[in-house]
C-alpha cells in the first residue's frame, strides 16, 4: 500500500528532505542522520525543559511513556531526538503497535509527541522527523491530529476512514444543563429521556451468549489473551499488543490507570474492555472506554455483555455519560442499538497509515479496527 500519487508528488523523498533540513541546521546530511537517536536517561532534564515551553510539566509521563528510567527503556515506547550540545532541537515519540491481520502479526508503530524549535519547524523538520521514523517499522499509524499536524498527516499518510465518537447519556439532565437548557426543564426532561434510552437499550440491544461470564481482572496474561487473539476477525487489521504491553499501557500510566473487564466462556477469554472514570473541564463525571476486543463469533452479544457491565459501573459511580471513540465497521450499528449517540464528525479524528505491506486498502471502510488505545491519550483529559 503506497501513498496517493498526489501526496507523493507534493512531498520530496527522504534523501531530499534530509539534505534540505541538514542545510537549514548547518549540518551535513550524514551528521544529521547520526545525531538523530533515541533519548537516554541523561537527556531527561533537557527534554522536560523543552516540553515545558508548551506549558507541560510531565516528567513522570516521559519516564513512563518512553522508559527513561533505564538505559534499556521499556520496550514499548521510544522518544527520538535531535540535540545540539545542551539544546534540544526536535523530538518525536513512538509506541509499538502490533497489527494482527489474516493470522499474521506485523510490526507497527504509532507516532506522537512531535515538538520542534520554531526555526526547525519552518525548515521542514516535521516532515523529516516522520520520514526518518518510517524506516523503523513496516507499518506506521497516525491516529488523530491537532491544528498544527493535520496538514502533515494528510501529506504523509494514506487516509483511513475517520474514527467516530459515541456517547451513552446516563445523566441526561446534567448533559442538558451543560448545553444551556434551564435547570428546571433539564430536571424534568432528563429522567424522561434517560428512561427512554434505557427502554430502547433493553428492547434493541443484542441478546444471547448466556454462557458468558463477565468479571473484573487485575492484569492481562498472554495465556488469557491467546484464545481471544486467535478468534479475532480475520478480515480486519486489529491493534493487538501482548499482555505485558497492555498492562504497561493501561495499568501503569501515572496519569490514567484503567480497570479491566474480561468476558469468559468455559474459562477462555472471548473479550475484554478497559475503562476509567474521569472528570472533564466542565466538572462532569464520565466513564471513558479506551479499548475493547472480542472474538468474531457472537461479537455483538459479547460486546453487549461487556457494555452492560460498564454501564452498571458508570451508574454506580454516578457518571453522566459513557463514551468512546472507534474505527470499527461492526461496532457502530451495535453501539446504536445499545443506545449510544454518534457524535458529529471531526477532522481531528482522522486516521492514516503508511505501509507497503498487503494490508486492507485505504478505500475500504471498516477494514481496520482502531480504538482510543492507539490515540495519544496520556490521561491529560
* Coil/strand/helix, residue 79: strand
Is the pTM above the cut of 0.85? yes
E-state strands within the chain: 37-38, 77-84, 87-96, 99-101, 104-106, 108-116, 139-143, 158-160, 164-169, 213-217, 237-239, 259-265, 268-279, 285-294, 321-327, 341-342, 351-355, 368-371
Mean per-residue pLDDT pooled into runs of 10, the chain (381 residues): 47 94 96 97 95 84 93 94 92 96 94 91 92 96 88 92 92 62 54 54 56 96 97 93 97 90 96 94 90 95 94 93 91 88 91 87 68 80 50
Same fold, 5-160 and 164-344: yes
Measured at the CA of 230, the angle between CA 229 and CA 231, to 5 degrees, comes to 90
- Domain 164-344 listed as CATH 3.40.630.30: yes
Every domain of the chain and the residues it spans:
5-160, 164-344
Q: What is the pLDDT of residue 146?
A: 84
Phi, psi of 39 (to 5 degrees): -65, 150
Q: Are 323 and 166 in contact (CB under 8 A)?
A: yes
State how far the Cα of 281 lies from the Cα of 230, in Å rounded to an integer.
Answer: 40
Question: What is the pLDDT at residue 54?
Answer: 82
Q: What DSSP string describes 137-204?
A: -SEEEEE---TTTHHHHHHHSEEEPPPEEEEEESSHHHHHHHTT--HHHHHHHHHHHHHHHHHHHHHH
The per-residue pLDDT for 6 is: 43
The residue count for the chain:
381
User: Angle 130-153-99 (CA atoms, 0-180°, nearest 5)?
Assistant: 75
Taking the C-alpha atoms of residue 329 and residue 369, their distance in angstroms, rounded to an integer, is 8
| Residues 354 and 154: beta-carbon distance below 8 Å | no
- C-alpha 301/C-alpha 102 separation (Å) is 23
| Residues in CB range of 253: below 8 A, 6 or more apart | 64, 378, 379
Q: Which CATH architecture has domain 5-160?
A: 3-Layer(aba) Sandwich (3.40)
Q: Are the CB atoms for 158 and 2 separated by under 8 Å?
A: yes
Amino acid at each position: 500500500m503506497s501513498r496517493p500519487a498526489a501526496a507523493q508528488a507534493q512531498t520530496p523523498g527522504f534523501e531530499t528532505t534530509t539534505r534540505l533540513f541538514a542545510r537549514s541546521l548547518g549540518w551535513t546530511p550524514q551528521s544529521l542522520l547520526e545525531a538523530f537517536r533515541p533519548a537516554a536517561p541523561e537527556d531527561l532534564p533537557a527534554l522536560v525543559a523543552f516540553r515545558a515551553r508548551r506549558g507541560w510539566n510531565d516528567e513522570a509521563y516521559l519516564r513512563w511513556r518512553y522508559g527513561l528510567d533505564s538505559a534499556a527503556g521499556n520496550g514499548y515506547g521510544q522518544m527520538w531526538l535531535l540535540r545540539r550540545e545542551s539544546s534540544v532541537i526536535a523530538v518525536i515519540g513512538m509506541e509499538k503497535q502490533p497489527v494482527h491481520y489474516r493470522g499474521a502479526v506485523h510490526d507497527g508503530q504509532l507516532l506522537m509527541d512531535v515538538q520542534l524549535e520554531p526555526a526547525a519547524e519552518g525548515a521542514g523538520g516535521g516532515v523529516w522527523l516522520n520520514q526518518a521514523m518510517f524506516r523503523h517499522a513496516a507499518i506506521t499509524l497516525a491516529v488523530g491530529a491537532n491544528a498544527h499536524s493535520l496538514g502533515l498527516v494528510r501529506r504523509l499518510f494514506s487516509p483511513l476512514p475517520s474514527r467516530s465518537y459515541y456517547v451513552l447519556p446516563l445523566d441526561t439532565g446534567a448533559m442538558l444543563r451543560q448545553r444551556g437548557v434551564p435547570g428546571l426543564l433539564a430536571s424534568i426532561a432528563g429522567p424522561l429521556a434517560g428512561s427512554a434510552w434505557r427502554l430502547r437499550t433493553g428492547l434493541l440491544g443484542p441478546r444471547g451468549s448466556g454462557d458468558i461470564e463477565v468479571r473484573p481482572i487485575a492484569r492481562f496474561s498472554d495465556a488469557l489473551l491467546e484464545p481471544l487473539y486467535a478468534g479475532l476477525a480475520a478480515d480486519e487489521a486489529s491493534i493487538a499488543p501482548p499482555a505485558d504491553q497492555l498492562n504497561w499501557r493501561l495499568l501503569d500510566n501515572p496519569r490514567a490507570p484503567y480497570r479491566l473487564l474480561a468476558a469468559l466462556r468455559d474459562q477462555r477469554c472471548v473479550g475484554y474492555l478497559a475503562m476509567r472514570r474521569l472528570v472533564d473541564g466542565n466538572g462532569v463525571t464520565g466513564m471513558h472506554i479506551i479499548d475493547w476486543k472480542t472474538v468474531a463469533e457472537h461479537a455483538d452479544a459479547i460486546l453487549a455483555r461487556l457494555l452492560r457491565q460498564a454501564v452498571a459501573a458508570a451508574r454506580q459511580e454516578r457518571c453522566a455519560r459513557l463514551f468512546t471513540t472507534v474505527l470499527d465497521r461492526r461496532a457502530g450499528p451495535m453501539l446504536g442499538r445499545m443506545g449510544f449517540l454518534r457524535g458529529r464528525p471531526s477532522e481531528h479524528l482522522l486516521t492514516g497509515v503508511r505501509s507497503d505491506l498487503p494490508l486492507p486498502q485505504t478505500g475500504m471502510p471498516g477494514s481496520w479496527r482502531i480504538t482510543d488505545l492507539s490515540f495519544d491519550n496520556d490521561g491529560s483529559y
